[in-house]
């Protein structure tokens, strides 16, 4: 698997289907942010803690919805409505939330304590959302399935992660400058909120495309021997 090929295909698909993918990201981010504000207003500091977990789980709920949408558009057209796409995520929300929180905790601990284990876990667990949404895997199964797909392709997957986030950093700088100019007349807190929603809406579909397309390539090549050393 070539990381640059995957990113090229992801960009091509983003250009073709952004009208389908961006509304999903926007709707989920707005709903999550409003729910988080409600929790904080209702419960104070307890609500802030709860909203942090909800926001973290929400990242994986959104990725789940985008994975469903990407699977739907693989034939070149969108057959599912926005409501139907989100409805397919609902039965898997608990699983997505748990695997997301566990993965985030494991990666964070690995990065803070030793760095290398955190990077290793991020590489091994990159496909947990497709494993849940497209294969119906449970919590522990999703981690094992993702590791199985990565085995023998570790360096390529790691390169994909690094290149994806370098692209996001570069794009984030450009978008940040534009938003700072456009949103300048607004209150600072409102600026930050709108900038966060817009940035996440723009970037989340590209990340989902890159990682989901890599998942499909590795799933299709499972029976093909690979000489690359495992990570």
Tell me the longest C-alpha to C-alpha distance in the chain.
Answer: 58
Eight-class DSSP state of 205? H
**How does DSSP assign 29-91, residue by residue?**
HHHHHHHHHHHHHHHTHHHHHHHHHHHHHHHHHHHHHHHHHHHHGGGSS--S-HHHHHHHHGG
Whether 153 is in a domain gets the answer yes
Whether 85 is in a domain gets the answer yes
pLDDT surpassing 90 at residue 145: yes
**Structural domains counted in the chain:** 1
pLDDT, mean of residues 66-89: 88
pTM above 0.85, yes or no: yes
Whether 119 is in a domain gets the answer yes
Kindly calculate the radius of gyration of the chain based on its CA atoms and give it in whole angstroms.
18
Whether 75 is in a domain gets the answer yes
pLDDT surpassing 70 at residue 225: no
Structure tokens at 88: 């397919």
Identify the CA nearest to 99 among candidates 135, 72, 71: 135
Question: Which pLDDT score is estimated for 205?
Answer: 93
Whether 14 is in a domain gets the answer yes
State the pLDDT confidence band at 223, using cuts at 50, 70 and 90. Answer: low
Give the lowest-confidence range in 146-150, 166-170, 180-184: 180-184
Whether 150 is in a domain gets the answer yes
Whether 229 is in a domain gets the answer no
Eight-class DSSP state of 92? G
The structure tokens 């419960």 sit at 43
The span from the CA of 32 to the CA of 26, in Å, is 10
Whether 230 is in a domain gets the answer no
Domain interval for residue 135: 3-220
């Amino acid at each position: 698997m070539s990381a640059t090929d995957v990113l090229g295909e992801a960009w091509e698909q983003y250009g073709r289907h952004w009208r389908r993918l961006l509304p999903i990201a926007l709707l989920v981010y707005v709903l999550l942010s409003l729910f988080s504000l409600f929790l904080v207003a209702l419960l104070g500091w307890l609500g802030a803690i709860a909203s942090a977990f909800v926001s973290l789980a929400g990242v994986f709920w959104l990725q789940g919805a985008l994975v469903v949408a990407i699977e739907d558009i693989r034939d070149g057209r969108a057959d599912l409505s926005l409501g139907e796409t989100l409805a397919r995520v609902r039965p898997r929300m608990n699983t997505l939330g748990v695997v997301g929180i566990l993965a985030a905790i494991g990666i964070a601990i690995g990065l803070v304590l030793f760095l290398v284990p955190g990077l290793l876990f991020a590489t091994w667990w990159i496909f947990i959302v497709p494993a849940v949404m497209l294969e119906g895997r449970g919590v522990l199964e999703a981690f094992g399935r993702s590791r199985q797909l990565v085995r023998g392709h570790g360096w390529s997957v790691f390169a994909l992660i690094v290149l994806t986030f370098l692209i996001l950093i570069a794009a984030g700088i450009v978008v940040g400058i534009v938003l700072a100019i456009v949103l300048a007349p607004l209150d600072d807190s409102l600026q930050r909120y709108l900038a966060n929603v817009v940035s996440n809406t723009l970037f989340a579909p590209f990340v989902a495309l890159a990682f989901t397309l890599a998942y499909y390539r590795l799933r299709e090549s499972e029976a093909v021997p690979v000489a690359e050393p495992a990570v």
